[in-house]
Structure formats: C-alpha cells, structure tokens
Amino acid sequence: MINFSAVAVVTIDGKIAKNKNHHTNWSSRADKIFLKTQIEKSDVIVVGHNTYNVAKKNLPNHIFLKRKYIVLTSRPKKNVFGHNVLWCDPEKVDLLALVKKYNYKKICVLGGTKTYTTLMKQNLINELFLTIEPIIFGSGLNLFDGENFSAKFRLRSIKKLNSLGTILLHYLKLN
Ligand SMILES: NC(=O)c1ccc[n+]([C@@H]2O[C@H](COP(=O)([O-])OP(=O)(O)OC[C@H]3O[C@@H](n4cnc5c(N)ncnc54)[C@H](OP(=O)(O)O)[C@@H]3O)[C@@H](O)[C@H]2O)c1
C-alpha cells in the first residue's frame, strides 16, 4: 500500500516559517531527531521548490545528496531523475501515478505551505505528524493556505518530546 505521510513542525501560532527562505533550524533537537527517523523510513521525499532551495542551501551536502526528492514546480526541468531529483508539476502530472511508476510506497511530504496544501487538496495525504513547538512567530507561513478545502482526521497519539513541552501529534486521515 502506498502511504503519503506529511511531517511538519509548527509554532504555537500555527506557522511553519517566518518567510519562504526561512530554514527550519528553530525546531527542537527532539523534533529534528523525529524528522530524521521519518525521512530514513521513507522511499522518497516530496517538497516544494522553495523548501528544496532552502534545504539545498542549508543542509550539509552529504545529507542533502543521499536523499531522493520529488520537487513540485510549475516549471519542471526534467521528467526523469537527475542525480536524486524528479521535478514535477502537480497540476499536470498525477503524483500518485508518478510514485507508482517509480515503485515508491513510503512517501514523506515535507512541505512547505504550498506543497502541504496541494497534496491535501488532492486528497493524497494519509497521515500527518505535527510537532508543536512552544514558540510564537507572530506572522509567517501557515501550515495550509490559499485554498478552500476541508479534511477530517482522527488523533492517533500525543507525545511530549522534551521538558520544554514540544508536542508530537499523529493524525490519521479519515476518508
Ligand atoms: N516547519 C516545517 O515543518 C516546514 C516544512 C517545510 C518547509 N518549511 C518552510 O516553508 C517555506 C517554504 O514554503 P512555501 O509555501 O513557500 O513553499 P514550497 O511548498 O516549499 O514551494 C512552493 C513552490 O513549489 C512549487 N509548487 C508547490 N505547489 C505547486 C502546485 N500546486 N503547482 C505548481 N507548483 C507548485 C512552486 O514552484 P515554482 O515556483 O518552481 O513553480 C511553488 O512556488 C521555507 O521557509 C521552508 O523552510 C517549513
């Protein structure tokens, strides 16, 4: 079975970043460890072009290059893998058919806003791991934005990750 697992870390005020270039270095160590585990369990990562650029700029090369990415863009550069990247316009290409073609079963959706929104609106997300950090940005990018849709979930687990009160929520999507 193919599973699209969205993983995100948000502030108390529901922001995933201050702006589109903001690297997610503000999350706790506990969340970074959790994220790493989720990435290592997955066959491929789905990210938007902006998040891909931020990761490329900020992650050490040996980590960035060993991962496989499907990068969403309205201007795909290639339709096949270069070294580790498949560029995809989700408005023109069926993402589910694409992951089936490459035999990917565990898909880790890592945002940002536009990407979480696109995949949620396309009804592709099966589960959501949401970390809430005890921090506020005041303004910034929402987890989802710019589209009118609704989705229902069942809370599967709640875990406190550290003494500051970082909370990890695991939601399963209801059909
Ligand atoms: N806190 C967290 O868990 C978390 C997770 C991930 C990212 N982030 C942060 O979020 C920020 C980026 O978020 P973002 O919303 O600006 O960007 P994003 O989703 O990473 O990238 C947006 C870009 O992806 C492409 N794209 C996405 N959906 C598309 C669609 N339906 N059709 C065509 N193209 C599509 C477009 O690229 P083109 O411009 O090439 O067409 C669009 O400009 C960064 O600061 C990043 O660090 C935070």
Q: What is the pLDDT of residues 67-96, one digit of tens each?
A: 999 999 999 875 545 568 999 999 999 999
**Backbone phi and psi for residue 70, each to the nearest 5 degrees, phi listed first:** -110, 115
Residues lining ligand 1, CB < 6 A? 8-9, 16-17, 20-24, 47-51, 54, 72-75, 89-91, 110-115, 118, 141
Q: Where are the beta strands (DSSP E) in the chain?
A: 3-10, 15-17, 44-48, 69-72, 85-88, 106-109, 127-132, 141-142, 153-160, 167-173
- The encoded tokens of residue 81 equal 């893998």
CA–centroid distance, 9 to ligand 1, in Å, is 15
pLDDT score recorded for residue 81: 52
Out of 73, 129, 130, mutate this one to test ligand 1's pocket (max ligand atoms within 8 Å of CB): namely: 73
Cα–Cα dist 71/67, whole Å: 12
Task: Supply the residue whose CA is at minimum distance from atom 11 of ligand 1.
Answer: 20
pLDDT score recorded for residue 27: 98
On whether the CB atoms of residues 45 and 108 are closer than 8 A, the answer is yes
pLDDT score recorded for residue 84: 87
Cα–Cα dist 75/101, whole Å: 21
Contacts of 144 by beta carbon, 8 Å cutoff, 6+ apart: 113, 116, 117, 120
CA–centroid distance, 118 to ligand 1, in Å, is 10
CA–centroid distance, 49 to ligand 1, in Å, is 5
pTM of the model: 0.96
CATH architecture for residues 3-173: 3-Layer(aba) Sandwich (3.40)
pLDDT score recorded for residue 78: 59
Cis, peptide link before residue 112, omega less than 30° from 0: yes
Regions of the chain where pLDDT drops below 50: 80
Residue ranges per structural domain of the chain: 3-173
Task: Supply the residue whose CA is at minimum distance from atom 16 of ligand 1.
Answer: 20
pLDDT score recorded for residue 82: 58
Cα–Cα dist 115/107, whole Å: 13
pLDDT score recorded for residue 73: 95
Task: Supply the residue whose CA is at minimum distance from atom 39 of ligand 1.
Answer: 73
pLDDT score recorded for residue 157: 98
Q: Is 72 exposed, middle or buried (0-12, 13-18, 19+ CB in 10 A)?
A: buried
